[in-house]
Amino acid sequence: MGKTCEQYLTISEDRGQMTSATRTAHRPRLLRRAMVVGAVLFTLIGLPFTVVGAIQGNDYFAVPDASLSTDSAAMVTREIDVEGRRPTDPQNDPGDLSRVRIQVRPADPNRPVFVGIGRRADVERYLQGVAYDEMATFTTDPLRVTWQRHPGSAAASPPAAQSFWAATSKVVAPGLVELEWDKSLGEWMAVAMNADGSPGLVVSANIGLRWGFLLPVGIGCLVLATTLVGGLILLTRRAAKR
């Protein structure tokens, strides 16, 4: 005999209930899988950030000292372009998030030196008509620099008298000056000169970078990973009791 309409309706309802029950049973399993993936990802991110941040501490990752000299009034870096403002610059450059330290030791400790960072337009305006060397190329291992000479008069006005500097050096030890700078949006240049603006500069210098976010981000990721693992253990225990 054929099945009645009521029987068909009953079978359909049973199948619907089975499908709903199956979906409900699968949800905790999918959640546990998502928590495992999240815990692994946060651990993979957090561990290297924490290790590197701990190694860094309050110090800087720096290149070894290099000897630099010029018979002009100043040595100037190439443009430091923060936030990748030009199409040719890499986007999301992690260097843009770093704090910069420049240390300079004059060959003659009795001849004070000045290091400053200013906006490109201000630096070029200040050095207009003055002979100075601008960095053309450089390598970091070891630190080697080639320079491009800008012709002009021999001496510049004392750099410390200028008001446009975003950061300037200070004496931190006998014969050692240091500049620290938190990068900000813009086009910048770093300048090394004799404090009186006179020509002829012989120094040893190094540049260091520090990323203050490494340790907090690393610890935060590990805390999230630990939280996910704890939640995963609770879900697994609940599932085992059913």
> For residue range 35-54, what is the model confidence (pLDDT) as tens digits?
888 888 888 888 877 777 67
What per-residue confidence (pLDDT) applies to 134? 94
Spell out, as residue ranges, where the chain has pLDDT lower than 70: 1-28, 53, 55-59, 61-62, 81-98, 140-143, 212, 215, 239-242
What per-residue confidence (pLDDT) applies to 238? 74
In this prediction the pTM is 0.64
Cα–Cα distance between 215 and 152 in angstroms, integer?
A: 47
Cα–Cα distance between 208 and 100 in angstroms, integer?
A: 6
- CA nearest 102: which of 169, 43, 199? 169
Cα–Cα distance between 194 and 184 in angstroms, integer?
A: 26
- CA nearest 113: which of 16, 46, 221, 205? 205
Q: Which CATH class is domain 61-211?
A: mainly beta
